[in-house]
A and B are shown apart, each in its own frame.
Chain A
Amino acid sequence: MQNRLKLLRVGLALAMFAGLMAALVDFRGSVPPRFGHWLASVQFVPSLVASATGASLSLACIVIAAATLAAGRIYCSVICPLGILQDVIARLASVLRLRSKGVFRYAPPHIWLRRLFLWGTASGVAAGWTGLVVALIDPYSAFGRIASGIFRPLLTLANNTVVGAANAIGVGTLYRVEPARAGAGALAVPALMLTLIVLLSAWRGRLYCNTVCPVGTLLGWLSRWAAFRLEIDRKACSKCAACLRVCKAQCIDLRAGAIDFSRCVACYNCIGACEHGGIRYRFAWRRRQPAQADAPQGSAAPANAPDPARRAFIAGTAAAVAVSFAAAPRLLARDPGNGSGKAEQNAPGQQDRDNHTRAICPPGSGSVDQFLVRCTACQLCISACPTHVLQPATLEYGLAGIMKPRMNYSTSFCNYDCRACGEACPTGAIALLDLAEKRLTQIGEAQFDETKCIVKVKGTDCAACSEHCPTKAVNTVPYGNNLRLPRVNRDLCIGCGACEYACPVLPDKAIKVAGRRRHGRAQKPEEKKMAAPTPAGDFPF
């Protein structure tokens, strides 16, 4: 009965993995942004960030904590895509015999390292570096960056290689896609992460999850008190070690006859591996110190004997969690936005210096400061963005914004009728605005330098900027001898970047969008019914 748990685990994990992978590597816009959003919303850190910053009320983190307290780290094996990726790699390494004999063996925990990473995270949050720290430590977001930043371009290139051949044999459904580009700086982190993950998981299974990952450490701490824990039935156990050979968490200590449940990722491989049915879920809350009671006489080290290192670990974990929670109100206090992602009403034409930003954040994110606290840099929005105007920042936002999406108008612009990023975002960093609201959300403001404009410099028509402008904030006025010179109406401009992208002036464009640190609200373009210029009913020629 219990070994069906593994089938269930593998099935659910593969479904989650495939779904998230599809949403993140999607280079043709085939996966609805909402699909990725649902899968990402049940991830622990995005949900915690959404709730803690007040972006939205997300219960997933509480459900995950409760599930962990009930039956251990189910999150780590079924929901976390980085965990599942490691299982895939570890499995491959076993099949390819990259690991010695393709099996695992017991290894003691690295308690001090676990503590260091958890404490580092907690102090980072307490020190106000939430934006950077949370983005770096969240395993889901790390996976997102690997899939979106590394796998997606590779898949695009593969697609483009196949397209030529497919077209040659008359398959018309495939087409070439320009690969999305990101700065090397923004790709360095996911590239390093992928290398680390591949090496660690091929070598020692879930070592990353049980040493580095603060989410693993936190849930591991909860699972020590789980109601149902996997335990070894001493009477049935023949010490054949079949279980620990398949334990990728390396947490089955056969000598002590105990499972370190804080490191167990609830993969259930051991249950199926044991021919004697010697490993089972047992209800652990009714009994006190069951291990000691069952321990064979004269055992050198009873499993649950007081261990100073473990006690310190538990105390440390508890303190780190307490510090993080204590810091949460500070997060909210630091947040200058109004929490809804909606834009503030700005006085027309007013844009003070402190409201300027070099990197422009997407509509729905409210303000750069709010955005950087809420965004975990998972890049789901970057994969969902149909125009690829959203690209991972290097240091344009500063350190807190590394790998977080910014609007890059040198290669594209924001589609007027699109809000895919808001549909995708799992943390509420980019709120899903009504389309009518999004069309009025001012994320920047076009600034026109007519001394560089082709119309003035060369005396020929151009107005590529005005042509692309969706609100006609950039219109033209009669100029010179039957020419049209662009003119910007700042009240109508939403900062979508269409004008900047379209401006053909090289190398320095004549029209550029200056980012707004706090988003504003543009006026609605006036709709004036046009009259026919020529008499109706006949031909004007």
Chain B
Amino acid sequence: MKSRRDFLRTGLVLGATFSLAGRRGLFATETPAAGNADAPLPSAGAPKPVLVAVRDGSRVAMLDKALASLGGIEAFVSKGQTVLIKPNIGWDAPPERGANTHPEIVGHLTQLCLAAGAKSVSVFDNPCDQWQLTYANSGIEKAARDAGAIVVNGKDKSLYREVAIPGGVSLKNARVHGLVLDSDVFINVPVLKHHSGSLMTAGMKNLMGVVWDRGTYHRNDLHQTIADFLTFRKPSLNILDAYHPMLSNGPRGTSVEDLVEMRMLLASTDIVALDAAAARLLGHQPAEVRHVEIGDRMKLGTMNLDQVEIRRFKLG
């Protein structure tokens, strides 16, 4: 059983590599946006990816610290660029339930991007619960709007466009939100939670919210498809809200009892490394979360934290 699966995996990965190497241009119906080309792929001799981990501060202070360590928001956002901030706005639950990214982080990040000269900052998610209620009750709609962001309806099918994902093993095409395809800068701002289906949701899983039909992922090997999407587009930056991660009954949660206060925030351009560290926060080995392990194997990032330059900060 195991050996057959391994054989299949090897075959599929080989196939993926082949199609990545040779046919990318042939199958792409959408030219990957400029940000994608800048994403550094880890390889031998290249500098180690950086992961910033901050703890024991307010959300805003931890975000400021993490960004300062990465060279400031200006290292990611240049004057006149369009920015997409993709938080987790999945559930009709208030901020204290920890089911969504905290609105303070989204609001503050929006302000920073605009201060850095961004032409526009857009915020959206394709929620699981009713979208107007979810946007409103998560607090994100108000926080983002007050900070100057454009809050976009994630349940408008006409805003999603069908694209080919030539590098995907299981996910060969998807209907992706236009903001992901068109924005210059794509900042992924997930929240850390237990997940009864995928064990954990952090950076990689959060990107399911940029496609129209989540069912495609569920039908075609959830973990593989989650990893496959990264062959199409990786976020320019990932910021993980782990202030009070959800440790049980995720991803929706049933009460505040599901949360544990850790007062932590992680940031990295390497989404796999970010998720590997996130898995540790929840008490898992990175490889136990299969999409993290696949992401590492497909060289979409590294889950081996020894290969990562971790900058640890304790505030307060």
Contacts and interface: CB of A to CB of B under 8 A. Distances in A.
Contacts of B116: none
B270 to A, nearest CB: 13
Interface stretch (A57-65, A368-376, A528-536): A528-536
A467 B99 CA distance: 12
Contacts of A417: 92, 133, 137
B282 A463 contact: no
Interface in B111-161: 128-130, 132-133, 137, 150, 153, 155-159
A189 to B, nearest CB: 28
Interface residues of B, number: 56
A interface, size bucket = 35 or more
Contacts of B224: 460
Contact of A172 (B137, B150, B215): B150
A468 B92 contact: no
A298 interface: no
B175 interface: no
Given A175-B156, A176-B153, A532 B218 contact: no
Interface string B197-218: 1110000000000000011101
Given A416-B92, A461-B223, A540-B280, A532 B260 contact: yes
Interface string B71-102: 00000000000000000000010000000000
B248 A534 contact: no
Contacts of B254: 470-472, 525, 527
Contacts of A103: none
Contacts of B63: none
Contacts of A458: 219, 221
User: Most chain-B Cβ atoms within 10 A of its Cβ — which of A172, A466, A467?
Assistant: A467
A28 B132 contact: yes
User: Most chain-A Cβ atoms within 10 A of its Cβ — which of B249, B276, B312?
Assistant: B249
B305 A482 contact: no
Nearest to A476: B196
Given A470-B252, A530-B259, A504 B215 contact: yes
A430 to B, nearest CB: 18
B222 A175 contact: no
Contacts of A175: 153, 156
Contact of A476 (B153, B197, B255): B197
B53 interface: yes
Interface string A454-479: 10001011111011111110011000
Interface string B172-200: 00000000000000000000000111110
B247 interface: yes
B281 interface: yes
A246 interface: no
B197 A533 contact: no
Contact of B283 (A176, A476, A504, A534): A534
A178 interface: yes
Nearest to A477: B196
B162 interface: no
A484 B156 CA distance: 32
A484 B197 contact: yes
Contact of B252 (A468, A528, A540): A468
A384 B118 CA distance: 39
B277 interface: yes
Contacts of A467: 128, 195-197, 251-252
B130 A415 contact: yes
B233 interface: no
A523 interface: no
Nearest to B308: A541
A456 to B, nearest CB: 14
B258 A530 contact: yes
Contact of B132 (A29, A464, A481, A529): A29
B214 A464 contact: yes
A505 to B, nearest CB: 8
B262 interface: yes
Question: Interface on chain B toward A: helix, strand, loop, or mixed SS?
Answer: mixed
A186 to B, nearest CB: 22
A271 to B, nearest CB: 47
A415 B133 contact: yes
B299 interface: no
Interface in A176-211: 176, 178
A378 B5 CA distance: 57
A73 to B, nearest CB: 41
Contact of B133 (A178, A386, A527, A541): A386
A506 interface: yes
B216 to A, nearest CB: 8
B30 interface: no
A528 B312 CA distance: 31
Nearest to A465: B197
A493 to B, nearest CB: 13
Given A467-B195, A529-B257, A461 B222 contact: yes
A539 B158 CA distance: 43
B65 to A, nearest CB: 14
B260 A530 contact: yes
Nearest to B53: A539
Contacts of B157: 178
B215 A472 contact: no
B59 interface: no
A533 B282 contact: yes
B248 A528 contact: yes
A399 interface: no
A502 interface: yes
B309 interface: no
Contacts of A176: 153, 156, 158-159
Given A415-B92, A460-B223, A539-B310, 10 more contacts: A175-B156, A178-B155, A415-B133, A460-B221, A462-B222, A467-B128, A467-B196, A506-B219, A529-B257, A531-B260
20 contacts: A176-B153, A178-B157, A415-B129, A454-B218, A458-B219, A461-B197, A463-B198, A464-B218, A466-B196, A467-B195, A467-B196, A467-B252, A470-B254, A476-B196, A525-B255, A530-B247, A530-B260, A533-B281, A534-B281, A541-B276
Interface of A: 28-29, 172, 175-176, 178, 386-387, 415-418, 454, 458, 460-464, 466-472, 475-476, 481-482, 484, 502, 504-506, 525, 527-534, 536, 539-541
